[in-house]
Structure 1
Amino acid sequence: MDLLAGFTWPEIAIALAITFAGAFVRGVAGFGMAIILVPVLALALTPVEAVLVTNAVALLVGLSEAPRLLRDAERSAVAISVLVAIATAPGLALLAITPAPMARMLIALVAISAFFAILRSGRAAAPPGPATTVFTGLSSGLLTGFAGMPGPPVVPYYVGRAVPRTTAKASMLLIFTVAALAGLASGAALGVMHWRLALLGLLLFPAVLLGNALGNAASARIGDTAWRGFVALVLAASALAALVKLLQG
């Protein structure tokens, strides 16, 4: 299995299991795959590799849903996506020069920040102003490059507002698809995107499709209140897991 050189079978098995779980959460909540997948992959791979593999599977599943996402997303998602694409390369460049232990700690802190961000968000009906939108896009791009996690700024932007669940999910997932593409393009430009990472992403893709499909089916059977509660639960669990890793490290 020369094509898998550099990856052990235990690493691949763990990645498949975590990818399935992360994709299921993505299907239900509209986010969460990167928050779950990157910290775990970063234990077996380098942080840069973990981010790029996550971007690969996120792009593949996002492209499979592109028509629906473009139809249902809020117009603000397009503006945020452009800003994400601009800011991703600087974030990845910063990750590439950050020592691995520090990068893992910062990635864990990103997961914790997502939980507190959603707790502080309100339920306003009106969309945020231009300044908030610009900050959301740029910070999401930086986090895409550095942690493979565009979600912490984006989730409160949509979930914290009184918008339909279908609109919130489609808007977030459209942004995350663009973020994944920007992350891979930035990795290639910086010379850190290698063929074996793309291969691992393709290997994980069936688990993503299955987990995402089951998550979407589960999401269709719950109401908005239960969905928002699940979103908060996912963020809380991610924050707790990240905190445990910090205390153990």
Structure 2
Amino acid sequence: MSDTVAIATLVGLTFLAAGFTKGVVGLGLPTVAMGLLSLVMAPAAAAALLIVPSLVTNVWQLLAGPSFAALVRRLASMMFAVLVGTSLSINILTGSSSSLASGALGAILAAYGAVGLAAPRFTVPPRAEPWLSPLIGLATGLITGATGVFAIPAVPYLSALGFTKDELIQALGLSFTVSTVALAAALALSGKVQWLTAGSSLLAILPALLGMFIGQRVRGRLQPEAFRRWFFIGLAVLGLYMLARALLPR
């Protein structure tokens, strides 16, 4: 098997697994894809590969909800700050030191897994939103630009705003869509990404959508909470491995 076929197979299986995870628990496609692909390629190349499937699946999630305009108004300052933060930190992801980007990605995956397992319950009072939303957006953008992962701290924060289930799913879709666009724009402006690799992102749409479809179909037959728990355990283990690989001498 040639290297090209091997990598294409790996990319297809990775996005199938990432789409399946998103279909079952409603999130995780970029996180799973970045974590697995970064084991065999530079994080910047992995980020370029996830742009199109992430955008397609998140726009689908965003437009399926009940209150698009109201969410945009409520979260506008957070979304703008995501754009700013991503542009400020993109040089970490695209820099010459892939071990720095891999280590940062590993630390974020491990933290995301730990937070998911702890499942802290807290709420954000309405009076705090005007100043807290842009701070959370900036932090999310900085992490997105450095690692290609845009779930922390956006997911815990949005979960604490008191949305209904459908509103939360749509709010996550909005956040992930803006983060994907911000990442794509920052990668393009950096001039350090081979867009031939990024063009292959188009080929990842089919396995990602197929994985989502299968995940949604089998969700009722699985125990979502058990699957979610093992998902976060897997992220934590993968993150610790990547962090150790980046820090320990070879």
Tell whether the structures are fold-level matches, with TM greater than 0.5.
yes
**TM-score (normalised: structure 1):** 0.83
CA drift at 1:228: 5.8
Q: Judge which range, 90-99 or 74-83, deviates more.
A: 74-83
**Is 1:121 matched with 2:120?**
yes
Q: Which residue of 2 is the match for residue 54 of structure 1?
A: 50
Distance 2:162 2:218 in 1: 22
Change (3 A) 1:10 1:98: same
Letter in 1 for 2:131: A
Which consecutive unaligned segments of at least 5 residues does structure 2 have? none
Offset at 1:41? 1.3
Change over 3 Å in CA distance of 1:77–1:25 after alignment to 2: farther
Pairing 1:214–2:214 present: yes
Mapped partners of 2:36, 2:27: distance in 1 = 16
1:156 maps to a residue whose letter is P
Q: Structure 1 residue aligned with 2:235, among 205, 224, 238?
A: 238
Asked if structure 2 preserves the Cα contact closer than 8 Å seen for 1:20 and 1:207, the reply is: yes
Tell me, yes or no, if structure 1 residue 140 matches structure 2 residue 140.
yes
Q: Is the 8 A contact 1:56 1:184 kept in 2?
A: no
Scaled by the length of structure 2, the TM-score of the pair is 0.83
Alpha-carbon distance in 1 for matches of 2:224, 2:135: 26
Which residue number in structure 2 is paired with residue 173 of structure 1?
Answer: 173
Per the alignment, residue 182 of structure 1 pairs with 182
Report which stretch shifted further, 228-237 or 187-196.
228-237
Question: Does the residue aligned with 2:67 lie in a helix, a strand or coil?
Answer: helix
Residue 63 (structure 1) shift: 3.1
User: 2:83: which partner in 1?
Assistant: 85
Among all aligned residue pairs of Structure 1 and Structure 2, give the percentage whose two residues are the same amino acid.
21
1:169 CA displacement: 1.9
CA distance in 2, matches of 1:166, 1:232: 22
Residue matched to 1:4: none
Instruction: Report the equivalent of 1:3.
Output: none
CA displacement, residues 88-140 of structure 1 (integer Å, 9 cap, x when unaligned) = 11221232225112221110110011133342632437455333322211111
Task: Write the distance in 2 (CA, Å) between the matches of 1:92 and 1:70.
Answer: 33
1:80 aligned counterpart, secondary structure: helix
Q: CA RMSD in A?
A: 2.9
Give, in angstroms, the shift of residue 199 of structure 1: 2.0
TM-superposed CA distance for 1:69, in Å, is 4.3
Q: Deviations over 1:214-233 (max 9, x none)?
A: 333445x489xx65665444
Q: Which moved more, 1:201-210 or 1:164-173?
A: 164-173
Deviations 1:56-111 (A, max 9, x none): 32112223444214736845444322221221112212322251122211101100
Any unmatched runs of 5+ in structure 1?
A: 1-6
